[in-house]
A = this chain, B = another copy of it.
Amino acid sequence: VKKAVLENLLDKNYASVSKKIERFISSYISKSPAAGVAVGLSGGLDSSVVLKLSVNALGPEKVAGFILPSSTTPEQDVKDAVSLAESLKIDYKIIDTSSIISKYLEVLSGSTDKIRGNLVARIRMSILYHEAAIKNYLVAGTSDKSEFLIGYFTKFGDGGSDLLPIAGLYKTQVRALATYLGIPEGIVKKKSSPALWKGQLAEKELGMEYEIIDPILVLLDRKLTARQAAKKLQLPVKDVIRVQAMIKASAHKRKIAEAANIEK
């Protein structure tokens, strides 16, 4: 059943999906006072797909790419990002964030990999918004539906953007869409990683592969209980409960901050 749920999930008309997303991007930009979109390019799957869809939607002259490596960024990622930007003929810029990160760490309290990783994601957001504002562009976010739902993003970091072109697609669907879009295989097959610290791998950190997470998310979205979903997917209930807990714990990341109600 697990395989069937996943196959059903992946069985999309990707030509139609990409057209819908491209229309979303061009309609969003045309309704706003902005002239184009800025995309932070990591050399990974999600940002490559968002870049390609943006170029399809707006043309390369209205899309800018920003490659923002730090000391923990694999060299291959920068190469992949540059080569995609070049092949799509967009305006792109590489801004090394190492010296900015070091400056923060000189004045901030000592912390963990995770806290420092969130800082790096927020530095990238700050740079992206700065460069986008200069061009009068909006920032296109690169979160997919899986990451968005389990909260696998930094609040006001990579989670800080103006529009979310691929947040309607699960990670496994984004991978299939990438193949449809002709994204280079090296990017499509790359293991997902925010690269916020050395050796960080999404599925290792999450303790589960997206081929498992996505079917769980689909069944939970259909309002199955943890027990029902686990049974259907032939998985331990604790795996489903784990995903449920991630959804719950990250709810605040998908909402505007709550305001005190002084009327009631």
Q: Are B103 and A99 in contact (CB under 8 A)?
A: yes
What are the residues of chain B within 8 A of A162 when measuring CB–CB? 252, 257
Known A-B contacts: A108-B127, A122-B125, A160-B160. Give 20 more (CB < 8 A).
A24-B261, A28-B258, A32-B252, A33-B249, A95-B107, A96-B107, A99-B106, A100-B103, A100-B107, A104-B130, A108-B130, A115-B134, A118-B130, A119-B129, A122-B122, A148-B259, A156-B160, A163-B259, A168-B261, A255-B256
Q: Is A169 an interface residue (CB 8 A)?
A: yes
What are the residues of chain B within 8 A of A122 when measuring CB–CB? 122, 125-126, 129
Q: Are A169 and B262 in contact (CB under 8 A)?
A: yes
Q: Is A36 an interface residue (CB 8 A)?
A: no
Q: Is A21 an interface residue (CB 8 A)?
A: yes
Q: Is A254 an interface residue (CB 8 A)?
A: yes
Q: How far is the CB of A88 from chain B (nearest CB, A)?
A: 19
Q: Is A167 an interface residue (CB 8 A)?
A: yes
Q: Is A151 an interface residue (CB 8 A)?
A: no
Q: Is A123 an interface residue (CB 8 A)?
A: yes
Q: Are A131 and B108 in contact (CB under 8 A)?
A: yes
